[in-house]
Amino acid sequence: MSKRRVTLFAIIILSFFSLIYTPVREELVRLVSPLASGAFYLGSKTAGIGNALVNNFRDKNALVYENSMLRAQNSLLQAEVLDRSVLQGQIAQLEGTLGRSKNNNLVAANVLEGFSQSPYDTLTIDVGTNQGVKNGDYVAYGGVGVVGFIAETTETYSKVKLYSSPGEEYLVLIGSHLIPATARGKGDGNFDAKVPQGSAIVVGDVVTVPKDNLVLGRVTAINQKEGAPYATVLFRSSFNPTEIQTVEVVVGTH
């Protein structure tokens, strides 16, 4: 075997080893994370400057129209948040009475790179063990909807694996009757779950994760065949995973 081939195979084997052997991988992640965080921060600042420059050339009327649309949408969202805050207060009061107070230790984090950047359905966020984040902690969006969990963490940054990652399976509760089911990730914020035929589930029902009642999504369709023992429930996240800019890590839920 020629020297070149030996070199090639040695490089390939070494590369795989560095990723498969956990201690080496963890050390590499620890070394690369500050550089990657810095690079992503620089990238976001550059993109911000670029957007500001481009906006100078946009049609003024289009900007005015977009501004009015966004203001209207903002008012609607504020009303919805107010309504939800009132309900949350009532729920917290009831849970306190029943002796089931939640752990609301939330750590806010910025998304450094979104899930469209890689084929892994992961997010990179700018908090880590320095902020008390540990592997397995839930990651929420808007304080209510759950996005995924911490899959890998260093001192300053962490990787969030989305629940909708293809092949992932989780126990969920569907609808007002809290029907248990195993949800499977289909990618891009989509899930499916099998429930017994005739279950009291309708389109629009909320799907939650058992712990802390965090919302995973809403039912979008129910596929059932006559005579089949199971129906397939399709549901998706209430938000677009590609638009997530900030998340909250629910520390202590691992």
Partner 1 sequence: MLKRISFDVLLLVMVLYFPWWVAALGAFTGAFLFASYYEIFLFGVLFDIIYGVPSAMLHGLMGIIGATIFYFLGSLSRNYIRPVYK
Interface ranges with partner 1 (CB under 8 A): 4, 7-8, 11-12, 15-16, 18-20, 22, 25, 28-29, 32, 36, 39-40, 43, 113, 116-122, 124, 151-152, 159, 161, 165-167
Minimum distance from CB of 253 to partner 1 (Å)?
17
User: Of the two residues 22 and 97, which places its CB atom closer to partner 1 in the complex?
Assistant: 22
Length of the chain: 254
Question: With contact defined as beta carbons under 8 Å apart, do 251 and 206 qualify?
Answer: no
User: Of the two residues 101 and 117, which places its CB atom closer to partner 1 in the complex?
Assistant: 117
124 in helix, strand or coil?
Answer: strand
How many whole angstroms separate alpha carbon 240 and alpha carbon 116?
11
User: Of the two residues 168 and 205, which places its CB atom closer to partner 1 in the complex?
Assistant: 168
Minimum distance from CB of 42 to partner 1 (Å)?
9
Q: Is 240 exposed, middle or buried (0-12, 13-18, 19+ CB in 10 A)?
A: exposed
User: Of the two residues 8 and 91, which places its CB atom closer to partner 1 in the complex?
Assistant: 8
User: Of the two residues 91 and 171, which places its CB atom closer to partner 1 in the complex?
Assistant: 171
Minimum distance from CB of 156 to partner 1 (Å)?
14
State phi, psi for 101 to the nearest 5 degrees.
Answer: -70, 140
DSSP H helical ranges for the chain: 3-20, 22-55, 60-97
Minimum distance from CB of 180 to partner 1 (Å)?
23
Minimum distance from CB of 159 to partner 1 (Å)?
5
**Ramachandran region, residue 132 (left: φ > 0; alpha: ψ -120 to 50; beta: rest):** left
